Chains A and B, each alone.
Chain A
């Protein structure tokens, strides 16, 4: 069953703008991970945030985690055309033998 749910399903913005994607989940988690998938390619890990962390940065990426609301957000600042991709969150479900549970993804399009 799907646990992580990304919102929105699709997002189209102008180059240079910021993009925000959200992920909600249902169970207790060990960590939450964000991945990017370019069209026709495998997934690439972006950032991992542990359940005891609230915010993490990596370059133009900022991830927040609110365990009380069971939600996370991924912010991409100063977007570029190369950021066009699908973005997935994956939660490590402590109640399900620590399996990774994936959302359906947010498709991000950056318009030049």
Chain B
């Protein structure tokens, strides 16, 4: 199993550009989530999904959209990038619920100029 994969590893955007961060898992996990990690802070939840077709907002959802059309994939879309979105983004999955052990992808380092 590849586990949780994320692409790209690095990305530089200009303010106002849009892009999609990809996340996929091959463990048949129901729960998937997106976090951002900023220096000196813990992970902050952006959006999450408890199953295909179901998504919900986390702590910091503004400026981001998600969709979950399949169990495996959970892309995160930045609508109009802003410098405040410069961060490291992590996708995670767990078997059934957010209370379970989380499996993390390697992260995407995003810089918005």
Contacts and interface: CB of A to CB of B under 8 A. Distances in A.
Interface stretch (A11-19, A40-48, A59-67, A73-81): A40-48
A28 interface: no
A105 B42 contact: yes
A52 interface: no
A40 B106 CA distance: 8
B40 interface: yes
Task: Give the interface residue-count category, chain A.
Answer: 20 to 34
Nearest to B97: A98
B90 interface: yes
Interface string B10-49: 0000000000000000000000000100001111110010
The SS class assigned to the B binding surface is: loop
Interface in A14-73: 30-31, 33, 35, 40-45, 48
B51 interface: no
B41 A43 contact: no
B80 interface: no
B90 A45 contact: no
Contacts of A104: 40-42
Given A1-B59, A42-B104, A99-B58, 19 more contacts: A2-B41, A4-B42, A31-B99, A33-B101, A35-B102, A42-B90, A42-B106, A43-B90, A43-B102, A44-B104, A92-B98, A92-B99, A98-B97, A99-B45, A100-B45, A101-B42, A102-B42, A102-B44, A104-B42
B64 interface: no
B105 A98 contact: no
B107 interface: yes
Contacts of A101: 42
A59 to B, nearest CB: 16
Contacts of A30: 99
B58 to A, nearest CB: 7
